[in-house]
Amino acid sequence: MYYNQLNSEQRYAISILLQNGKSKKEIANAINVHISTIYRELKRNSGKYQYHHRQAQKKCDERKNRMCRDRKFDLQMRKRIFSFLLNEEWSPEQISGYLRRKGEPYVSAETIYQYIRFDRKCGGSLWKSCRHKLKHRHKILTGNGVRIKDRVSIEDRPNQANGARLGDWEMDCISGKENKTHIVTLVERSTNFMLMRKLKYGKNANQLAKTVASMLLPYKKFVLTITTDNGLEFTEHKYIAKMLDTKIFFAHPYCSWEKGTIENTNKLIRQYIPKKLDFNEITDTEITQVQYKINRRPRKKLNFIDPKSAFFKNIRNFALAT
């Protein structure tokens, strides 16, 4: 028999059997669990004077919710882990143990290792901060996983690409029902001007690259950089860069805030195209209509000018200046 988490029915049975004077071994046999499970349950979920199934279930649920909340790998958590790894050069075990001892939200050492392994797989350098350089994880890291070749980190993106000038774009994909259909999205950071198109061949990297290149080709002169995430659908980034004569940069793994403009734009798109929708049910014309509506929304950052007007105004100003 193996240890499994107890359910409410099993806790009710434990409560009744204890009242009937049954031993821990007899209770374990009765509900088909290991005797250590009974010892663990009584130690963790008993009340002040006795064990009661409702109270035990409540304690279990509260502990589960607290752990999920405290261990959420959110933006603040990632920033702290970045700091500990790069500045303090602490190990994942030291980071997790220190935060746990301080009573602060934390994640397990294994979660941090997974984050570092994924970063390395995508061409990142966090693994270099580990004392053993993840040598004992070598087989996992270099197995059949696909790397994004010649990936250039966002750390190497020029300071001018800060969203203030015209021509710095962000790129992403949104997925439909059961992750089977997809739309590629692009947004120009200074104006929030957005382009979107349904991917007929799913996340096929070759077809996506051709689609993106055709979408941006009319604005080639105004595509200075593109920033995206580490999705394998972007492995053909060199084709996009060549066709548009631009440079493509990749955000750090799990750091969606590093391309916050496209993330916020995708949320606007979801008002019209919900996650559970099969994109095969919407036409290209309907997608163009969504693009038009979003580009015509006045934005506070643009002094309530809409993105489309701001984008083409900047293009006209550029043409006049040259």
Q: Which residue, of 69, 84, 112, is where some domain finishes?
A: 69
Residue 183 lies in a domain: yes
Residue 188: give its domain's CATH number.
3.30.420.10
User: Is residue 197 located within the same domain as residue 285?
Assistant: yes
Same domain for 198 and 307, yes or no, is: yes
- Whether the pLDDT of residue 1 is over 60: the answer is no
Q: Is residue 2 part of a domain?
A: no
Q: Which of 54, 69, 84 is the last residue of a domain?
A: 69
Q: Is residue 58 part of a domain?
A: yes
Give yes or no: residues 278 and 316 share one domain.
yes
pTM of the model: 0.58
Residue 53 belongs to a domain:
yes
The answer on 133 and 238 residing in a single domain is: no
From residue 49, alpha-carbon distances to 37, 38, 43, 59, 150 in Å are 20, 17, 12, 15, 64
Is 109 domain-assigned? yes
- Residues 153-200: tens digit of each pLDDT: 998 999 999 999 999 999 999 999 988 999 999 999 999 999 999 999
Tens digit of each residue's pLDDT (9 = 90 or more) over 115-153: 788 777 666 777 777 765 555 443 333 333 447 899 999
Structural domain count of the chain: 3
> Are 53 and 130 contained in the same domain?
no
190 and 314 Cβ atoms separated by less than 8 Å:
yes
Whether residues 208 and 124 fall in one domain: no
Structural domain ending residue among the three candidates 141, 165, 190: 141
Does residue 112 belong to any structural domain of this protein?
yes
- 163 within a domain of the structure (yes/no): yes
Q: Provide the 3-class DSSP secondary structure of residue 174.
A: strand
Domain limits for position 63: 8-69
More confident residue, 285 or 97: 285
Does residue 302 lie within any of the structural domains?
A: yes
**Do 299 and 285 fall within a single domain?**
yes
Are 24 and 101 in the same domain?
no
The reply to whether 185 and 307 lie within a common domain is: yes
- Beta carbons of 53 and 8 less than 8 angstroms apart: yes
Sort strands 168-175 and 225-228 into parallel, antiparallel or unpaired: parallel
CA distances from 263 to 54, 213, 227 (A): 43, 21, 12
Q: Are residues 225 and 289 in the same domain?
A: yes
Residues 17 and 60 in one domain: yes
Same domain, 129 and 182: no
* Comparison of pLDDT for 213 and 51, the residue scoring more: 213
